[in-house]
Amino acid sequence: MSNEKLLQTSFFKTKTASTPIKKVGSFDQLATKLDANTYMTEMNGVKFKVGHKRPHWKQFSYQYPEQLSYKERVIQILENIITKLRKS
């Protein structure tokens, strides 16, 4: 992590509640205005890994013939979610 990123992260964590903050957004995405030029965005949700690319590879894993294609992998993920939802 770069020093700049570390400073930004610690700045957001140490911001006090007494500072006036304007919050705009829905439940899934929340944008908070910290001052005239600074915003903080928070997002809630689910993220799925469809493929990956290693440094020495020329393409993503789903582009290789022995792997599921991008579309097939997304369908597999969605079918697993539907199955879990039906069971709960």
Taking the model in full, what pTM does it have? 0.51
Q: What pLDDT sits at residue 8?
A: 41
Token pair of 39 as six digits:
């915003």
Any idea what DSSP says for residue 43? E
Instruction: Return the pLDDT at 27.
Output: 59
Q: What is the dihedral of CA 82, 84, 87, 88, to 10 degrees?
A: -110
- Determine how many CB atoms are found less than 10 A away from the CB of residue 84: 9
pLDDT in tens, the chain (88 residues): 433 443 344 344 434 444 455 555 555 778 888 888 888 888 888 788 899 899 998 999 989 989 999 999 999 999 999 999 999 8
Tokens read off for 48: 């799925």
pLDDT value, residue 24: 57
